[in-house]
Structure 1
């Protein structure tokens, strides 16, 4: 399989052709008004865009392979809990904040997740959870199923269903972080699912 890096001028021309087609333009003829920028139209539908694919790369390849990005998306999947520190390790099932937020006593800074299990290791020790953690942390911990076979803890990529890092999910994570400052609270997916009548064009002779 061969991979080619297209010149930016070609990428620009391809996007301009798609843009013209969407707004009803053809060649050098004038078409409809551009109500939204191509930048906004190329966002996912859940973010208020049309989901058009960008041809020009917004994020350079170097960013997709940096250690900072990998650290940001890395998560520890709990097995036995013997290898994972309770504090300072991203092991909670929370995409935005996988770390323990409760205050950690100095004497427990090197405690392992396995210390939070009962003596038979089949379930979480509720008494310990109640003593150490706030409601948020305790709820997330209890949502983690415990391994009955003493499986090892392992590192995974937290933004993929099977836990493997792929460029697509890394690109999505970087893009979402860059757009966070302009996001709103509108549920765009619900808007897309609305049953609305087809749009009609008004002309000087009436509707059509």
Structure 2
């Protein structure tokens, strides 16, 4: 390990201390430093001072690593449009559109309509380039006003770790070295290849080589997939099954919900057509939130929310914290859950969620959303009967 590696490792540890100051405001560690160095603002706005101790200046050095993270938009009041990192892309996460002089210090909040909690498309199209305008409008906003929050985009849950910080600094340093090497090679009129392209190029070469090798013929062995049946809820509860899907060719998404009683009978069902292609994580979080809203609207306040997303269900059961952009959608789920007297969470494999799965497939055939009370779409009734036969 060279000196450069040790320095990066030290920076990643200092960034962890800065993260603790940012995310644990009630800790003694935070109270001591805040009273002395940043009494009227957060550590993210703190500045280097001549009177600061070596420890404090070192923590600020680590804070500068965190500033290369990204902001999760809540109400947008703390995020500067042009100074902060907030676009949903890694390279680069800051806005590159030409700055509007009159909006040089403007916050992201001016781009959000307060009453509807939706993006102001007309304003966004007038400020950003078409590519960046599309990125902004694709960011999901919470239906309820929330605080802006810094998250670390290089971990799944958005929580900074020293390991992820070290890897980020190494990758950043490698990119700078490559840029310098590329510039030198261009001066010599030689072709270059980025390290990001090495893996893809190697796969292409391997695929070409594999085609030249004759493949042995193996006998096929029949396998039986693991079957998971839908199970009824306890008496007094309803089971709220939800599913989601993205339709890449049509650039659209869909959500399906089925609410059933202890006998397996459908009490209410719905299919919703979303005219936007969301990411897998976004639509997986939107489906339960939609399902809970629908359940309360039709009068149910005691139930079991069930989906075939193991990651999401586990996060809800464990009350996990997600600081990434998808974390706001998780907060929407918990907010909607507060309207229930009793709400449990359950995971089921796709085979046990086929009624909701068929409903979400139907979502592409409707204009907005469709609701069936005490029934489902006729072609889906057979799936309901299959579930009832399975547990009878």
* 2:95 aligns with one of 100, 115, 127: 100
Question: C-alpha displacement at 1:80, in angstroms?
Answer: 1.5
C-alpha contact 2:117 2:144 (8 A) present in aligned 1: no
- Cα offset for 1:117? 1.8
Gaps of 5+ in 2: 15-61, 179-193, 215-392
Aligned residues: 142
Q: What is the alpha-carbon distance in structure 2 between the residues aligned to residue 139 and residue 89 of structure 1?
A: 18
Partner of 1:69: 65
Aligned to 1:139: 134
Q: Distance in 2 between matches of 1:153 and 1:76?
A: 7
Partner of 2:195: 183
CA drift at 1:101:
1.1
Higher helix share goes to which structure? Answer: 2
Q: Secondary structure at the match of 2:105?
A: coil
1:1-208 mapped onto 2 (5 Å cutoff): 56=1, 59-60=5-6, 61-64=9-12, 65=14, 66-72=62-68, 74-180=69-175, 181=178, 183=195, 185-186=197-198, 187=200, 190-191=203-204, 194=207, 196=210
Mapped to 1, the partners of 2:196 and 2:158 lie a distance apart of 29
Name the structure where strand makes up a greater proportion of residues.
2
- Paired with 2:173 and 2:107, the residues of 1 have a C-alpha distance of 35
Q: CA deviation at 1:116?
A: 0.8
**Separation in 2, partners of 1:119, 1:76:** 19
CA-atom RMSD in angstroms: 2.6
Partner of 2:314: none
Q: Compare relative contact order (CA 8 Å, sep 6+) and give the higher one, 1 or 2.
A: 1
Deviations 1:51-95 (A, max 9, x none): xxxxx47621323233332222x2110012122222211111111
For residues 110 and 190 of structure 1, what CA distance do their matches in structure 2 show? 46
Give a deviation string over 1:72-127, Cα, whole Å, max 9, x none. 2x211001212222221111111111111112222212222121123523311111
For structure 1, which runs of at least 5 residues remain unmatched after alignment?
1-55, 199-208
TM-score of the superposed pair, with normalisation by structure 2: 0.33
Question: After the TM superposition, which of the residue ranges 104-113 and 63-72 deviates more from structure 2?
Answer: 63-72
| Alpha-carbon distance between aligned partners in 2 of 1:167 and 1:193, rounded to the nearest angstrom | 35
